[in-house]
Chain A
Amino acid sequence: MELQITLIIGAILFGIGLYGALSQTNLVMIMMGVELMLGGCMLNLVAFWRYLHPETYSIQMFVLVVMTVMALEAAVGFAIATQRFRSKGSVESEEASDLKE
């Protein structure tokens, strides 16, 4: 029971994060959505560890990796945003159609 509730909470977080990633124009906001999605994933992982395999620590390892990825992705993302801001003057995704065919 707790497992399902926790998983559902994770799912909801993931959904909100997805919504934000899709609907926001600003790159930074999109990244925030992605953060939320990753947070939901992490919650799922932790729930699985706690309720299914409490003795297996590779799951916690996985969580650490995901956390790392979160940080790194934020860092690189901000670097890109900086560079974009320098060349184009804004980080709106609607104006970022340079790759359009």
Chain B
Amino acid sequence: MTLQLILIIIFGLGAIWFGWRVFMTSSMVRSALSLLASMAFLGFLFLALEAEFLGVLQIMMMATEMSIMAIFMMMYMMDPGGMSGMDMSHQKKPSIIAASVTGALVVLVILFTNWGSMAVTVPAAARQNHDLGIEVMKRSMMIFETAGVTILVAMIAAAATALVYKKDMI
């Protein structure tokens, strides 16, 4: 048992538990915050897996995103406080079945695949960042640019979608 494994397991369990909590509470704020916690733990997992940049990125992005989500949840939820005790779920059984079947399948695949040999050494964090930057700028420039354009389009689309349309406007 290496330290890494223990950390992985702890952070993983944390993420799973908080992910579970998202759908188990009736309070919307709490579920948003649970998701935040889950994402955070996911970030910490990244850090434990020595992908420092991604881990930090994850934590920073998710924190912001989940806060916004909490606000939106409060806006649009029927019962944000969750005090009324309504069950806001449907087709529970089929979804449980689907989820478990999918999970089981994937686990099976994981367990019965021959992954080959494991890599032992990982470059240092500085080195990773440098190489990642080079990667972005050189080989994956197209991808990045596309991603950037896509972000822009999405922003515009989101803004346009959320506008108020009056009758005489188009």
B32 touches A47 (CB 8 A): no
B158 touches A67 (CB 8 A): no
Residues of B within 8 A of A42 (CB): 42, 54, 58
A74 vs B46: C-alpha distance when bound (angstroms)? 22
B95 touches A22 (CB 8 A): yes
Question: Most B CB atoms within 10 A — which of A5, A14, A32?
Answer: A32
B19 touches A79 (CB 8 A): no
Name the interface residues of A19-42: CB closer than 8 Å to any CB of B: 19-29, 31-33, 35-36, 39, 42
Residue total for B at the interface (Cβ-Cβ under 8 A): 85
Residues of B within 8 A of A26 (CB): 76-78, 88
Chain B residues at the A interface, C-beta cutoff of 8 Å: 2, 4-5, 8-9, 12-13, 15-16, 19-20, 22-23, 28, 31-32, 35, 38-39, 42, 45-46, 49-51, 53-54, 57-58, 61, 65, 68-69, 72-73, 75-78, 88-92, 94-96, 98-100, 102-103, 106-107, 110-111, 115-116, 118-119, 121-123, 128, 131-132, 134-136, 139-140, 143-144, 147, 150-151, 154-155, 157-162, 164
28 sampled A-B residue pairs with Cβ under 8 A: A2-B5, A4-B115, A6-B49, A8-B107, A12-B103, A13-B42, A15-B106, A16-B19, A18-B95, A22-B94, A22-B95, A24-B88, A29-B31, A32-B35, A35-B39, A36-B19, A46-B46, A49-B51, A51-B119, A61-B144, A67-B57, A67-B61, A71-B151, A72-B151, A76-B161, A78-B158, A92-B78, A94-B90
